[in-house]
Copies of this chain bind each other. A is one copy, B any other.
Amino acid sequence: MELRAVGRVESPLRDRAAAPRQGDEGAPESTIAFLPEVADALADLAVDDEVLVLTWLDRADRSVLVVRPRDDASRAPQGVFTTRSPDRPNPIGLHRVRIVGIDGLRLRVRDLEALDGTPVLDVKPLLLGIDDR
């Protein structure tokens, strides 16, 4: 089960300490630069589309199974499958973003909380009635 990057994130976010925890907490606009070999896969994306972007959180700690909730040291540690911590056995990031510009293989997006250089794995449409109900 070997992943291949289909693109990379270009973002002003350089390290985890600076990153907001979820996209709408204030991630700066960023760009996804896709590889030329997947151009046909993104042909029908459009400005203003809301999509799901899957990334590989390459700076995560894959050995972590339990985390302490952020900002509340009094709460008990939680299994990572009930959190969105990047630290988990398979650190796949799932981001709901809005496309604000398209220039060839470059997608400009809003609300993508991912560090500069993060590999992009996939883009999926939101499914009304499934993801969005």
Contact = CB atoms under 8 A, between A and B. Distances in A.
Contact of A42 (B1, B58, B81, B127): B81
Query: Copies of this chain, how many?
Result: 2
Contacts of A79: 40-45
Interface string A1-36: 111111000000000000000111000000000000
A131 interface: yes
Contacts of A65: 38, 40-41
A6 B89 contact: yes
Contacts of A100: none
Interface residues of A, number: 49
A84 to B, nearest CB: 6
Contacts of A41: 65-66, 79-81, 88-89
Most buried by B among A22, A79, A96: A79
Contacts of A83: 125
Interface of A: 1-6, 22-24, 38, 40-45, 49, 51-52, 54, 56, 58, 65-66, 78-84, 88-90, 92, 94, 96, 119, 121-125, 127, 129-133
